[in-house]
Amino acid sequence: MIDGRSMQESSLVSFDAEAAVLNDAPRSDARAAAPPRPAPARRALLMCAPDYFGVDYIINPWMENQIGQAALPRAQAQWENLRGKLAAHSDIAFVAPTPGLPDMVFTANAGLAIGEKAVVSRFHAKERRPEERLFCDWFEAQGYSIAPWPENVPFEGAGDALLDHARGIVWCGYGWRSGETAPKHLQKIFGLRAVALKLVDPRFYHLDTCFCPLSGGWLMYYPAAFDIASREAIRAIAPVEKRIEVGEKDALSFACNAVEVAGRVFLNDCSDDLRSRLIDAGFMPVVTPLSEFMKAGGAAKCLTLQLPGAASTVMPRE
Ligand SMILES: NC(=O)NCCC[C@H](N)C(=O)O
C-alpha cells in the first residue's frame, strides 16, 4: 500500500459499488435473492486495429521464439471477433494503427484516463516509446488534459494501473515495466488511493496479465505473480469471499487478462472450474480466442483501454 489510509478514508469517489452483479448477468441460486441493482452505465473502450501487428522483437518472455510467427490474417480475425463481441455492449473508439509499431494494438498501454485527465505511458521498452506521441495526440484530440509525468519514471498505462470501481482505488503493478514510484505519482495526479503491488514472475510482467478487478468488488487474480507483501495487501483489501484466485494453468492462458462489460467477462480461455466460479459470482465468462496476440504477450484486456465516458464510475477528487 502506498499510504496507510483505511478504506473508509479512501472513499473519495462516487463509485457504483454495486454495478456489482449486473442485472442481465446470470446468477447462481445463492445470489438470486439479492436486491435489484441499477443497470450499469455503458462502458467505453479504446482499441487499435492490428493492421501492423506482429512479433518483431522480444521484450517479454512470451515473445521468445515468436519473431515472425504471428499469423496476421488470424490475428485480424481474432481481433475482429473480440471487437464485435465488445461492441454489442460498449462504445468503442479507435486510434489509427501505425506501420512499424506492431505492439500499438495493445491500447491498454496507451496510458491511464480518469475523468478529464490522462497520463500518457512512458514506456520501459525503447521499442514502444514511439507510441507515446501517437497516444498523446489521440488523448489530446479527444480533449483530455494531459498530466505531466516525470521523465525518468517508466509507466505502462492501464497495463499496470487498474481501476477498482467498487472500492474507488487504483491497483498498480511495478517491478518489470512500471517504476516503483509510479503509483505515488498516479495517486497525486488523480486523487485516488493507489495500492502498489510488486510483480515477481516475468511471465506476468504487467498487472493486467495476472489481476482483474471485477464489478461488485470481485477480484480475479493469480497470487503467485506477486511478492508476499503484495499478496497480503490484496487479502487485506479484498475479503476472501470476493477473491477468485486462479491456478497456474488459467493464469498462463491469460484468464486474468479479461475485459468485463455488462456482466460478461471476455477472456482468451477459461477452465471449467474458473467458469463455474465466475458464474457463481454472477458473471458470464465469454471465451474469445486470442492465440496470435498471446505470442506477443497480450490478450483481451491488453487489446482495450477503458475510457472514462459514460461508464466511468470512479471520479477524481477535485
Ligand atoms: N499486458 C498488456 O497490457 N499489454 C501487452 C503488451 C505486449 C507487448 N508485446 C509488450 O511486451 O509490451
208 Cβ closer than 6 Å to some ligand 1 atom: yes
> Measured in whole angstroms, how far is the alpha carbon of residue 184 from the centre of its chain?
19
From the list 165, 172, 206, 210, the catalytic residue is 206
What does each C-alpha distance from 225 to 25, 60, 209 come to in angstroms? 29, 15, 9
268 Cβ closer than 6 Å to some ligand 1 atom: no
302 is catalytic: yes
End-to-end CA distance of the chain: 22
60 Cβ closer than 6 Å to some ligand 1 atom: yes
Residue 203 neighbours by CB under 8 Å, 6+ apart: 60, 61, 62, 209, 225, 252
210 is catalytic: no
56 φ, ψ (degrees, to nearest 5): -110, -10
Q: Which residue is associated with the grid cell 476472501?
A: 240
Q: How far is the CA of 105 from the centre of ligand 1 (A)?
A: 9
**Of all atoms in ligand 1, which is nearest to the CA of residue 298?**
5
Give the residue whose CA is nearest to atom 3 of ligand 1.
159
Angle at 169 between CA 168 and CA 171, to 5 degrees: 150
296 Cβ closer than 6 Å to some ligand 1 atom: yes
Report d(CA 263, CA 254) in Å as an integer. Answer: 19
- 131 and 121 in contact (C-beta within 8 Å)? yes
DSSP calls for 248-302: HHHHHTTTTS-EEETTEEEES---HHHHHHHHHTT-EEEE---HHHHTTT--TGG
Q: What is the pLDDT of residue 43?
A: 80
Domains and CATH numbers, the chain: 40-307 (3.75.10.10)
Q: How far is the CA of 302 from the centre of ligand 1 (A)?
A: 7
**Of all atoms in ligand 1, which is nearest to the CA of residue 125?**
12
Q: What is the pLDDT of residue 262?
A: 86
166 Cβ closer than 6 Å to some ligand 1 atom: no
209 Cβ closer than 6 Å to some ligand 1 atom: yes
**Of all atoms in ligand 1, which is nearest to the CA of residue 160?**
3
103 Cβ closer than 6 Å to some ligand 1 atom: yes
Q: Which of 58, 60, 104, 105 to mutate to test the pocket of ligand 1 (most atoms within 8 A of CB)?
A: 60
- pLDDT tens digit at each of 318 positions of the chain: 333 222 222 222 222 222 322 223 333 333 333 333 344 457 899 999 999 999 999 999 999 999 999 999 999 999 999 999 999 999 999 999 999 999 999 999 999 999 999 999 999 999 999 999 999 999 999 999 999 999 999 999 999 999 999 999 999 999 999 999 999 999 999 999 999 999 999 999 999 999 999 999 999 999 999 999 999 999 999 999 999 999 999 999 999 999 999 899 999 999 999 999 999 999 999 999 999 999 999 999 999 999 996 444 443 333
Q: Which of 302, 303, 306 to mutate to test the pocket of ligand 1 (most atoms within 8 A of CB)?
A: 302
Q: What is the pLDDT of residue 41?
A: 59
Q: What is the pLDDT of residue 309?
A: 64
What does each C-alpha distance from 232 to 117, 159, 196 come to in angstroms? 31, 21, 12
DSSP state of 34: S
284 φ, ψ (degrees, to nearest 5): -115, 105
Q: Which of 109, 123, 129, 171 to mutate to test the pocket of ligand 1 (most atoms within 8 A of CB)?
A: 109
- 90 and 43 in contact (C-beta within 8 Å)? yes
ipTM confidence: 0.98
List the one residue out of 137, 143, 81 whose CA is nearest residue 116. 143
Q: SS3 of 224, please? A: helix
- E-strand ranges in 152-272 read 161-164, 169-174, 193-198, 211-213, 219-221, 243-245, 259-261, 264-267
Report d(CA 72, CA 128) in Å as an integer. Answer: 19
Report d(CA 139, CA 136) in Å as an integer. Answer: 5
106 Cβ closer than 6 Å to some ligand 1 atom: yes
